[in-house]
């Protein structure tokens, strides 16, 4: 949008009076005929000032459980396959029972013998106690009967423990699911020896190091998925629990999903000298098409100031603790405009916008770029170019990994001159 104000010829001494008036801070100047000053202008916006932290991550399950067996054993039965949904206490696999079942039978047989012997020893002890009370049995014989009973009792308890242990081993050899979920990884097959070279090779070149060799499978708990983000340590000041998050998945271009920061790790991860922290995003309504391991681009938003006026950073002139900007106002003469210096209060700042308050309204036109040498009231003929500016991070930035260098250079910028001196900035854009 451009508005042209026609020029008006000055008197013969206008050029001589130009610089002294600039120094006094109030300049009224009409360029020669045909000399039009190009001025970049933006309009003040109203809203909230927000910042964003970008990160990358992956889709993960809320919780995963590794199904393990603590001894090397043959997998004699496999009841599930990768991708199967399982219920709590559903049978998953059966380990080799050929040694466990005979051991249980032997322990039970020994226990039965001990129980029979214990019954006889108990009867003998009662008889000995009765005879001793009638003083027809020597004290030493009573003590022998008591010792025999205690010995058989201890043996019976030991054999009972052996039976319980054998039963527990058999129960553990029947692997059941502890949660309701989905089998996301299967590391062995039926007929393989758990912990063998074949089973270890089945883990893959990377997982073989991370997973113990006694792991049969991994189950992901059913429910909403999460997004694990790796946030650079320098950005952690803008991350907090409950923070709003937006993310995209490479598999679903054009879709933006929502979440919130659930937890923030206290322990960092350092890779190649780069320190990051794990930030977990909860996704209340994760889509059915989500898959564990999908790469994601993430933006974490933070509100810096609410209900404020928003202007570009380069439009604000800072002088110590004071801040100013220059409004564009029409002069009394139809062929001129005024640049008027106005003080404002700064309430927050990001690389893309500054939040201000002051005697200024939304929609007011201001200089997009200021200079300390601009006078308080500067009247001139100008060709005004009004541009929009983006005060807050845009969701299109979620595709930041896909932007090429040429695309980044082609991003729209606020138009305006970049001269080397004050007069060149105003007269030779």
Which overall architecture, per CATH, does domain 54-62+224-304 show?
Beta Barrel (2.40)
- Lookup result for tokens 């340590």: 233
Spell out the per-residue pLDDT of the chain, length 429, in tens: 444 434 333 343 333 333 333 332 333 333 444 456 677 889 999 999 988 888 989 998 888 889 888 777 888 889 999 889 999 999 999 888 877 778 888 888 888 888 888 888 888 888 888 888 888 788 888 888 889 889 989 999 988 888 888 888 788 888 899 999 889 888 888 888 876 545 555 555 444 444 457 888 899 888 778 999 999 999 898 899 999 999 988 888 778 888 899 999 999 999 899 999 999 998 877 666 788 888 999 999 888 888 999 999 999 998 888 999 988 877 666 566 778 888 999 989 988 899 998 888 998 888 888 876 665 556 566 677 788 888 988 777 666 544 433 333 333 333 333 333 333 333 344
CA dihedral 398, 400, 406, 411 (to 10 degrees): 40
Return the pLDDT at 2.
Answer: 44
Structural domain boundaries in the chain: 2-12+22-49+305-427, 54-62+224-304, 63-90+177-222, 98-173
Integer Cα distance of 257 and 287 in angstroms: 9
CB-neighbour burial class of residue 75 (10 A; exposed 0-12, middle 13-18, buried 19+)? buried
How many angstroms separate the Cα of 178 from the Cα of each of 190, 206, 393? 21, 26, 44
- Phi first, then psi: give them for residue 160, nearest 5 degrees: -65, -40
Residue 304 half-sphere exposure, CB side, CA atoms within 13 Å? 23
Whole-model pTM? 0.58
Query: What one-character-per-residue DSSP string does 141-174 give?
Result: HHHHHHHHHHHHHHHHHHHHHHHHHHHHHHHHHE
Q: For the sheet with 75-78, list strands across it.
A: 75-78, 91-95, 174-176
Contact 74, 156 (CB under 8 A): no
At the topology level, CATH places domain 63-90+177-222 in OB fold (Dihydrolipoamide Acetyltransferase, E2P) (2.40.50)
Tokens of 286: 């994760």
> Strands 295-311 and 45-60: what pairing?
antiparallel
Return the pLDDT at 377.
Answer: 54
Return the pLDDT at 233.
Answer: 92
Integer Cα distance of 387 and 351 in angstroms: 18
Return the pLDDT at 289.
Answer: 73
Return the pLDDT at 375.
Answer: 56
CB-neighbour burial class of residue 48 (10 A; exposed 0-12, middle 13-18, buried 19+)? middle
Residues 259-262: contacts with CB under 8 Å, at least 24 apart: 259/227, 259/283, 259/284, 261/300, 262/226
Helical H runs in 25-138? 100-133
Best CATH choice for the domain 98-173 from the list 2.60.120, 1.10.287, 3.90.550, 3.30.2170: 1.10.287
Which overall architecture, per CATH, does domain 2-12+22-49+305-427 show?
Beta Barrel (2.40)
Return the pLDDT at 412.
Answer: 39
């Amino acid at each position: 949008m451009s508005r042209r104000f026609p020029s008006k010829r000055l008197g013969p001494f206008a050029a001589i009076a130009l610089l002294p008036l600039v120094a006094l801070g109030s300049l009224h100047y009409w360029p020669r005929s045909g000399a039009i000053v190009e001025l970049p202008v933006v309009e003040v916006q109203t809203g909230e000032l927000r910042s964003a932290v970008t990160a990358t991550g992956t889709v993960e399950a809320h919780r995963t459980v590794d199904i393990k067996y603590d001894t090397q054993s043959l997998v004699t039965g496999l009841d599930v396959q990768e991708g199967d949904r399982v219920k709590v206490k559903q049978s998953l696999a059966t380990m080799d029972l050929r040694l466990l079942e005979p051991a249980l039978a032997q322990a039970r047989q020994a226990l039965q013998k001990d129980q029979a012997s214990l019954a006889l020893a108990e009867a003998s002890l009662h008889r000995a106690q009765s005879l001793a009370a009638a003083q027809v049995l020597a004290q030493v014989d009573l003590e022998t009967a008591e010792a025999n009973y205690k010995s058989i009792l201890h043996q019976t308890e030991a054999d009972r423990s052996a039976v319980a242990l054998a039963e527990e081993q058999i129960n553990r050899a029947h692997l059941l699911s502890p949660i309701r979920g989905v089998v996301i990884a299967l590391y062995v097959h039926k007929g393989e020896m758990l912990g063998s070279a074949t089973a270890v090779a089945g883990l893959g070149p990377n997982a073989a190091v991370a997973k113990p060799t006694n792991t049969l499978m991994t189950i992901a708990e059913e429910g909403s998925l999460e997004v694990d983000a790796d946030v650079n340590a320098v950005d952690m000041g803008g991350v907090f629990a409950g923070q709003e998050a937006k993310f995209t998945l490479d598999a679903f271009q054009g879709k933006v999903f929502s979440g919130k920061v659930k937890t923030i790790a206290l322990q960092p991860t350092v890779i190649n000298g780069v320190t990051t922290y794990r930030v977990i995003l909860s996704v209340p309504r994760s889509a059915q098409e989500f898959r564990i391991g999908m790469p994601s681009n993430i933006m974490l938003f933070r509100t810096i100031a609410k209900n404020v006026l928003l202007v570009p950073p380069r439009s604000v002139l800072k002088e110590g603790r004071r801040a100013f900007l220059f409004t564009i106002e029409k002069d009394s003469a139809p062929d001129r405009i005024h640049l008027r210096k106005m003080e404002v209060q700064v309430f927050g700042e990001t690389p893309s916008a500054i939040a201000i308050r002051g005697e200024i309204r939304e929609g007011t036109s201001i200089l997009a770029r200021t200079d300390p040498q601009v006078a308080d009231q500067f009247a001139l003929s100008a060709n005004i170019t009004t541009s929009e500016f983006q005060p807050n991070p845009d969701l299109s930035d979620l595709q930041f990994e896909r932007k090429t260098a040429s695309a980044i250079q082609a991003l729209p910028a606020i138009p305006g001159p970049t001269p080397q001196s004050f007069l060149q900035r105003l007269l030779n854009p």
